[in-house]
Amino acid sequence: MQLETMRCEVKGPVAHVTLNRPDVLNAMNVQWAHDFLAIAEDLKRNSQVKIVVIRGGGRAFSSGIDLKALSRREFPLEWFRVYERGLRAIETMDKVVISAIHGYCIGGGLQVALASDIRIVAEGTKFGLTAVKECLVPGMGTYRLARFIGPGRAKRIILSGEFIDAQEANAMGLIDYLVPQADFDKRVAEITQVYLNAASEGQRQAKRLVNLAFDLDWDEFLEKYIEAQAAALASEQHEEAMAAFREKREPRF
């Protein structure tokens, strides 16, 4: 892939995606959405990849949409659709997607984090959905954030455009792991390994079910669960897990 605004490196079962406009705190220009969608679709098809780790190069995860480009009216409406397709691709792919977040996680950057499965955050990080300050709607963050922290807190963040710090974000439930800045890289690697150790058909099916949790009634969800459990039980990885139990060792997925 020819990428202008980010890098993607696959090392065995782990794909490392680095947002790469550090001079502007990884702000998103027009090309960004196309690069992100291309990476997401490529990784979604890659059966060898089990875990995707997204992080920002330089001093921030992402400061969101590039306001200088926005002021020059460089963003057609179709850009927002392409951007959301990229987020949906990482949200629904059968891999665990981890956002490793430091510095600033603002606007579209926070939306990437919300579409990910796991958020590892360095202390001192600032969060916000600031779109209303530019008289914009903060994308499908309006859909996801309320599911994370409830409509009341979501409205506070979305309708004010204010920043919150990592401690408050953690208390709200936006963060899965809050780690010291000095240990950030080490903890990202350790936590990534935890999810890699559990990378199985059961994990993939479980992610799919959790994504449906707010969309189906109980009976519909039960049937989806039974289908997922059947797939997990029939997998080679389940056989390996049972063999590992009998042999008193960790499973090798």
Compute the average pLDDT of residues 43-71: 97
- Report the distance separating Cα 108 and Cα 87, nearest Å: 10
With pLDDT > 70 as the criterion, what percentage of the chain qualifies? 100
What residues have CB less than 8 Å from 101, skipping those under 6 apart?
Answer: 55, 56, 61, 109, 113, 119, 120, 121, 122, 125
Q: What is the pLDDT of residue 67?
A: 96
Q: What is the pLDDT of residue 1?
A: 73
Q: What is the pLDDT of residue 157?
A: 97
Candidates 124, 130, 134, 84; CA nearest to 104 is: 124
Give the neighbor-by-neighbor strand order of the sheet with 126-128. 104-106, 126-128, 164-165
How big is the CA angle at 227 (ends 224 and 229), to the nearest 5 degrees? 110
Candidates 174, 17, 191; CA nearest to 106 is: 174
- Per CATH, the architecture of 6-197 is what? Alpha-Beta Complex (3.90)
Model confidence at 161: pLDDT above 90 = yes
DSSP conformation class of 135: T
With pLDDT > 90 as the criterion, what percentage of the chain qualifies? 99
Q: What is the pLDDT of residue 47?
A: 95
pLDDT digit string (tens) for 105-140? 999 999 999 999 999 999 999 999 999 999 999 999
pLDDT digit string (tens) for 77-104? 999 999 999 999 999 999 999 999 999 9
Q: What is the pLDDT of residue 193?
A: 98
Q: In 3-state terms, what secondary structure has residue 63? A: coil
Beta strand ranges found along 77-168 (DSSP E): 96-101, 104-106, 118-122, 126-128, 164-165
